[in-house]
Structure 1
Amino acid sequence: MQKDIFLSSEADQWFKRNIESLKDKLAIDDYLYQNIKKLDAKGKVLEVGASIGYRLGWLKSDGYQVVGIEPSKEAVNYGIANSDLTELELLVGDASTFLDKCVSKFDMIIFGHSLYLMDPEDLPNIVANTMRLLNEDGYIVIFDFDSDPQKNPYHHRENLYSYKMEFDTLFTWNPCFKLISKKIMQHDGSTSVGNKHEDCALSIIKRVDLKHAYPTLA
C-alpha cells in the first residue's frame, strides 16, 4: 500500500527534496494559516501531514494545543530539534492508523495537501474517524487538489500514484458537516487559471449540531 512505501522511504525522500523551502516558511505567506486565524476557533488542533511542524508551531504560539502526524521520520526529528514542539506534539505515523487508535477529540483537523497521496481504500475510514474525533462547532480545513476524480503517476517514484478529487465532498454529504468557505487556486496559492486537472482548493467545513443540520420544517 502507498502508506507503507511513504513510511518506509518516500516520505523521507520528500523531506530531503523540500527541506530548504520548508525551513524558510513564514506565517504571513501561509494562506492556510492566515485563513485559520480568521476562524472563531480555539482548543486542540490535529494536522495530518504536518511536515516539520512549522504550522503547528505558529498555532501553538497562538494558544492552541497541537498534535501533528507526519510519515517522514526525518521531518519529525528535524521539527522537534528546531522548534518548541515536543515528541508528544509531532509524531511519526500514517493518518489511517493514527485516527483508528485516537481517542482524543479535536476542535480543528487540518489536511494540508496530503489526502491526494493516501490509499483510496483508506479514505472511508479516515473520513469516518475524522468525523468521530471532531468536536461540535469544530472545523475541518483541507488544502488539496480539487479536480474530477483521476489517478496519475507520482513522478518522484514508480508504482506510486496521486488520486485527485474534490476532497470536501468526502465530508459534506453529511448535513452535520457544512462547507462554509471554499477558494479555488493553483498549487502555489496563486489565482486559478481554470485548469480543472490542476486546480487546488482551500475548503473549510464546520461541524454543526443536529438541530441545525436537520431543521424541523413547518
Structure 2
Amino acid sequence: MRQKDVFLHSEGDAWFERNRATCAQIDHAADPVVATVLDIAGQRPPGSPPLRLLEVGCGEGRRLAWLAARLDAEVHGLDPSAKAVATAQARGVAARQGTADALPHGDAAFDVLVFGFCLYLCDPQDLFRIAQEADRVLADPAWLIIHDFHSPTPLVRPYHHKPGVHSRKMDFRRLFDWHPAYTCYAHRVSAHGGTAFCDEPQEWVAVSTLRKRGGDHA
C-alpha cells in the first residue's frame, strides 16, 4: 500500500488523535509560517481582493482559523485525516480530505499555498505530480511556503508510528526552484520544535518562501 493510502485510511486519523493536545498548545503568534503569510498580506496593494490561501496538511485548521480571524482572506485546507478535516470545518475553514498529488481545486485558485509539514511523508513517485498540482492551483504571481524537515542531501528513515512507512527528508525547494518562474526569497533552518539554531542535521526544519512569477507583469 502506498503511503498516501495509509494516511487516508488510518494513519491520518491516528496522527490527529496522537497530536491533538500538542497542536492545541501552539502559539500562532510565534509561528514562522503565520509570520510569513502576514508579511505577504501586509504588502498587498490597498483595495486588493481577499487573499486566497490553501494549506496542504492543514490538520484541524487552527493556523488557518487564526489567520482568517485577522486577515481579509479566504482560507482553504487539505488533509488526509477525515477527523481533522471535520474539526477544521467546524472552525469555519473550507477543508477537504485529500493528498497533495491530487488537489481538488481549480486552476490559478490561490495567491498563497502552504505545505504544512507533510511533504516528508509523501510517496517519492508522487513528487513530480505534487509540484505540478501546486503550480496548477497557484495564480501568477503567487507565493509558495514550505514548512518541513530539511536536509541538503536526501535522507530516508523509518516512520516510528507505522511499520513499512518512511519519512524522507530533503531540500524541498528543489521541487520548484529549478524552474525559472520560482525564486526562493527566504529560507530559514532551525531545530525541530523550536526556532533556535541546531547543529544536528536529523533535527533540521526549514521554512522556505518562494515567489512564483512566470508571466509578463508590469
Instruction: Name the stretch that deviates more: 52-61 or 160-169.
Output: 52-61
The question of whether the paired residues in 1 share the 8 Å contact of 2:54 and 2:77 is answered with yes
Residues 1:60 and 1:197: Cα distance change in structure 2 (over 3 Å): same
Deviation per CA, 1:146-195, whole angstroms, max 9, x where unpaired?
A: 10201110001100000110001110001110000011101113222222
1:135 is aligned with what amino acid?
A
Distance 1:31 1:203 in 2: 10
Provide the residue aligned with 2:36 in structure 1: 35
Deviation per CA, 1:42-71, whole angstroms, max 9, x where unpaired?
A: 521111000000111122221111110011
Kindly indicate whether residue 162 of structure 2 is the aligned counterpart of residue 157 of structure 1. yes
Instruction: Name the stretch that deviates more: 165-174 or 201-210.
Output: 201-210
Provide the residue aligned with 1:15 in structure 2: 16
The normalised TM-score by structure 2 is 0.88
Instruction: Name the stretch that deviates more: 149-158 or 52-61.
Output: 52-61
Provide the residue aligned with 1:130 in structure 2: 134
The question of whether the paired residues in 2 share the 8 Å contact of 1:31 and 1:189 is answered with no
2:122 is aligned with what amino acid?
M
Residues 1:97 and 1:132: Cα distance change in structure 2 (over 3 Å): closer
Provide the residue aligned with 1:204 in structure 2: 209
Kindly indicate whether residue 72 of structure 2 is the aligned counterpart of residue 63 of structure 1. yes
Deviation per CA, 1:11-62, whole angstroms, max 9, x where unpaired?
A: 1110111111223333213221022211235521111000000111122221
Distance 1:196 1:25 in 2: 24
4+ long deviations beyond 4 Å? none
Kindly indicate whether residue 92 of structure 2 is the aligned counterpart of residue 84 of structure 1. yes
SS in 2 for 1:116: helix
Post-superposition offset of 1:203: 0.2
Where in structure 2 are there 5+ consecutive unaligned residues? 45-49
Q: How many equivalent pairs are there?
A: 207
Distance 1:194 1:137 in 2: 36
Where in structure 1 are there 5+ consecutive unaligned residues? 213-218
SS in 2 for 1:98: coil
2:72 is aligned with what amino acid?
G
The normalised TM-score by structure 1 is 0.88
Distance 1:129 1:95 in 2: 7
